[in-house]
Amino acid sequence: MKLQRIAALAKKELKRTIREPAVLFIIFLFPIVFVFAFGTSFGGVGGAQTVSYHIGVVNMDQASNVNASQILVSALVNTKIINLDVYASNATAQSDLSQGNVQAVIVIPSDFSGSLASYQAFSNEPSKWTNTSVQLYLDKGSLVATQAVPPIIQQALASVAGQTRQLQIPFQIQTASLVETKVTSTLDYIAPGMFTFASIFLIMMVAQSFTTDRENGMMKRIRITPTTPSEFMASQVISYMCIALIQAALVFAMTYALGFRPAVGASSFSFAFVIVLTFSLSNVGFGLITATISKSASAATGLSFLFVLPQLFLGTFVGASLSSSAQVVGKFVPSYYVTNALSSLFLRGTAITTPAVLVDLAVVSISCVAILAAGIVLYARYYKI
């Protein structure tokens, strides 16, 4: 294989993507416009919103003559920026936190009032106080909550002790853990599917590119040169992987601009790009299959929807709103596993080494390589490369 030939053909394909208006629109502008339209419609972008935090309270306090928990609750309500939900049990509160219904949960300990009583009795003798801790659970997915809520609680605790600012008091905040949330906003929810969505339209581009080159005699012309079939196919795969990479970066930039802020590290982002790139192989494969069954470029445009629509409806953000049986069928399209892996990473904060994510990657890799191989074999059987 000669790198010079592969690079020249890949460069040619990239130029085509940029210079042909229809291709440029489908590949880059359409996903961006779509994400923008969807994001602004469902992501709550724009418009000033009153800042408020939804916090759950689990009151375990065994109040005696001093009802410290009531004072704390009143102090929190008086901030005007906190909406409180009182829970009878910590389990229920934790469940709501994990589903994103509240941004934080405070557990007031059983000895909270006792602690305040000891403080009031011996305010100048800290050694005689009954020290206690208020447990605070925060939504890991909400950067705002993790930053803003602890100081508010601290302020409220100081006011329980009759202080206006944080001085030495017997009750401290113990941040028990940062809890991962399952649902944040609609944009957060649909963003993983959007990364998958953009790449699917490569099917149409590959099919059009091959049929157009066949129609105008360019495929024949390349076959007359010493270019080998493997060099030609390698150049196509490389160029479309580059396009998929740019697409994913553009879609991410657009979702970021619309407020998508997954609280994950660089490894998760790298993994996301890897799985999207792997997924693009299947789209090249489906494109080749479409080109095989299409007699012309216009037929290829229509026939490509045979593969675009199932991938789109069953495997991206659209899939979640389908019936359970359709969701089962979705497990037969590669895009389902891409979206699933990206949702695990970005929505649930799952590590890239967890078995579920690795299984998704394995399924995507195996199926996509198989589809690409099938596409190449089929195309080469009916049309020479």
Partner 1 sequence: MSEPAIEIQNLTKKFEDKTALDNLNLEVSKGELFGLLGPNGAGKTTTINILCGLVKPLCGTAKIYNHDVQKETRQVKELIGVCPQETAIYPYLSGDENLELFGNLHCMNKKLLRERSKLLLATLGLKEDAKRVSAKYSGGMKRRLSLALALIHDPQVVFLDEPTVAMDPQSRHAVWDFIKNQKNQGKTVVLTTHYMDEAEELCDRVGIIDHGKLIAEGSPKALIAERQVKNLEELFIKLTGRNIRGEP
Binding region for partner 1 (CB under 8 A): 2, 4-5, 7-9, 11-12, 15-16, 19-20, 216-218, 220-227, 384
Residue 316 DSSP code: S
157 vs 300, beta carbon nearer partner 1: 300
Smallest distance from partner 1 to CB 18, Å: 9
Pairing of strands 104-108, 132-139: antiparallel
Smallest distance from partner 1 to CB 36, Å: 27
Nearest Cα residue to 255 out of 175, 186, 329: 186
3 vs 306, beta carbon nearer partner 1: 3
89 vs 216, beta carbon nearer partner 1: 216
26 vs 361, beta carbon nearer partner 1: 26
Q: Are 154 and 114 in contact (CB under 8 A)?
A: no
Smallest distance from partner 1 to CB 5, Å: 5
**Residue type at 307 in one-letter notation:** F
Smallest distance from partner 1 to CB 385, Å: 12
Smallest distance from partner 1 to CB 223, Å: 6
Q: Which two tokens stand for residue 207?
A: 């099919």
4 vs 325, beta carbon nearer partner 1: 4
Smallest distance from partner 1 to CB 296, Å: 15
Q: Which two tokens stand for residue 143?
A: 């950067």
176 vs 380, beta carbon nearer partner 1: 380
Smallest distance from partner 1 to CB 370, Å: 30
21 vs 355, beta carbon nearer partner 1: 21
Cβ neighbours of residue 165 under 8 Å, at least 6 residues apart? 158
Smallest distance from partner 1 to CB 199, Å: 22
Q: Alpha helices, DSSP H only, in 226-296? A: 229-257, 266-293
**CA 130/CA 171 separation, integer angstroms:** 9
Angle separating helix axes 305-315 and 266-293, nearest 10 degrees = 150
**Under the phi-then-psi rule, with left for phi > 0, alpha for psi from -120 to 50, and beta for the rest, what region is 50?**
beta
Residue 385 DSSP code: -
20 vs 180, beta carbon nearer partner 1: 20
**CA 299/CA 204 separation, integer angstroms:** 11
128 vs 223, beta carbon nearer partner 1: 223
Q: Which two tokens stand for residue 276?
A: 């999207």
Q: Are 145 and 104 in contact (CB under 8 A)?
A: yes
Smallest distance from partner 1 to CB 16, Å: 5
Question: What kind and span of H or E run contains 206?
Answer: helix 202-215
Smallest distance from partner 1 to CB 228, Å: 8
**CA 201/CA 32 separation, integer angstroms:** 13
Per-residue CA distances from 246 to 18, 194, 268 (Å): 12, 14, 17
Strand ordering across the sheet containing 132-139: 82-87, 53-59, 104-108, 132-139, 171-179
22 vs 306, beta carbon nearer partner 1: 22
